[in-house]
């Protein structure tokens, strides 16, 4: 099978005359760190600051009956991308580098560079939904990735709600002004899933405490919760 990519759900094979000649290699993102040397102390002190975004480059080509405007439009975007050598995962990307479309038209080949964020996510994993009728409940969720994940959790209910992860209380939520709240651990924000209005002041605790370890996790609650949905619960580097 020839290489292909999928940008924001649209397969490159649906673009008339566009060829994906290669796919970028799979590699681990660079760790950002701070090194500090202290007089009288051997070696240095390393502080890990996180993972860096990086570039993925690949070659594209043209065949007969191409429409260069359609090709330009296809790459003139940002969002999510799937590469055919990792068909079950997607990256978040931006197009920061220019594409030499003049070269593409003249020589029928060019290089595309996408700036991707360090983590990748499952392209086949579905949102999980759990319904409750008691004032206490729990469910298990598996992070199938290879690094802690930062899920998006949506709660429906009312009043005071306490959230627990693997037996430890992590967040206290007050649902008085809204019947539902979305807690996005990745952006460290809480908001109304319908209006988008921020609801951070109704959440007490550190969002990062809701990160899911690799493997099986148990999320529990106390309070009046009728439904919990969760997505982005697996993550890879």
* pLDDT tens column, 97-121: 889 888 888 889 999 999 999 999 9
What number is the average pLDDT over the span 148-166?
A: 97
The predicted pLDDT at position 130 comes to 97
What number is the average pLDDT over the span 192-217?
A: 96
pLDDT > 70 in the chain, percent: 100
Name the pLDDT band for 38 (thresholds 50, 70, 90): confident
Q: How far apart are CA 200 and CA 207, in angstroms?
A: 10
Residue 14 has pLDDT above 80, yes or no: yes
- Name which residue leads in pLDDT, 220 or 99: 220
Q: How far apart are CA 97 and CA 232, in angstroms?
A: 28
Q: Which residues 6+ apart lie within 8 Å of 33 measured at CB?
A: 46, 47, 48, 49
The predicted pLDDT at position 198 comes to 96
The predicted pLDDT at position 185 comes to 97
Residue 64 has pLDDT above 90, yes or no: no
Name the least confident of 30-34, 177-181, 227-231. 30-34
Q: Which residues pair with 128 in a beta bridge?
A: 230
180, 202 Cβ separation under 8 angstroms: no
Measure Cα distances from 136 to 5, 131, 190, 233 in Å.
44, 12, 22, 22
């Amino acid at each position: 099978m020839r290489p292909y990519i999928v940008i924001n759900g649209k397969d490159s094979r649906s673009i008339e005359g566009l060829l994906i000649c290669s796919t970028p290699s799979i590699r681990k993102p660079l760790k950002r760190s701070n090194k500090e040397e202290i007089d009288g102390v051997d070696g240095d002190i390393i502080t890990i600051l996180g993972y860096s975004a990086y570039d993925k480059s690949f070659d594209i080509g043209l065949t007969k009956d191409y429409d260069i405007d359609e090709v330009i439009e296809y790459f003139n975007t940002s969002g999510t991308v799937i590469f055919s050598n990792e068909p079950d995962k997607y990256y978040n990307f931006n197009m920061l580098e220019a594409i030499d479309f003049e070269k593409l038209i003249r020589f029928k080949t060019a290089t595309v560079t996408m700036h991707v964020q360090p983590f990748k996510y499952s392209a086949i994993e579905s949102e999980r939904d759990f319904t409750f009728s008691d004032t206490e409940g729990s469910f298990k969720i598996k992070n199938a990735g290879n690094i802690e994940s930062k899920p998006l959790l949506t709660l429906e209910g009312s009043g005071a709600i306490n959230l627990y992860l693997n037996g430890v209380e992590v967040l206290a939520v007050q649902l008085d002004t809204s019947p539902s709240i979305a807690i996005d651990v990745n952006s460290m924000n809480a908001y109304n899933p319908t209006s988008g209005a921020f609801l951070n002041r109704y959440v007490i605790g550190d969002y990062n405490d809701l990160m899911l370890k690799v493997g099986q996790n148990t999320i529990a609650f106390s309070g009046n919760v009728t439904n919990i949905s969760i997505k982005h619960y697996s993550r890879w580097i």
